[in-house]
Amino acid sequence: MKRLLLFAALLCAVTLAIGSSFVSNASKAGQKQRASMTFTEPVKLQGVVLKGEYLFVHDDAAMMRGEACTFVYKGNVETSKNLVVSFHCIPENRTKVASFTVRTAVPSPGVVELREFQFAGAKESHLVPPAK
């Protein structure tokens, strides 16, 4: 009888643990991440030159649907009139970073291109696809 009760308790615990992980994954799917960045020198992103303050927004739900999931706004307000560029990023696993991080490259002298960005506390980075 004790074995039956122990088995039932273990079965309930496993069921709850599995159910909890599905719930947490579903809530992440609708998550939006935001971070501001100030560029003191010109940086090129998808053919657009950024200089000054910009808001980076990543929409996990849009990424899962295969739609544009990264939106970059001039200033720090997420409004359509401030939208500078949007694109579908390429997710890449990285080491967790403490603060919002951008990674750049210099494809030719005097040109700095933003190639990747990563939100604070995230283990996933977002690669910028080549401009069309």
State how far the Cα of 103 lies from the Cα of 88, in Å rounded to an integer.
17
Residue type, 67: E
Phi, psi of 56 (to 5 degrees): -100, 130
For the segment 32-43, what is each residue's pLDDT rounded down to a tens digit? 999 999 999 999
Whether 44 shows a pLDDT value over 70: the answer reads yes
Kindly state the tokens that stand for 90: 């390429």
Residues 49-86 have pLDDT tens digits of 999 999 999 999 999 999 999 999 999 999 999 999 99
Q: Kindly indicate the confidence band of residue 131, based on its pLDDT and cuts at 50, 70 and 90.
A: confident
Is 1's pLDDT higher than 60? no
Q: Give me the residue label for tokens 């100030």.
A: 38
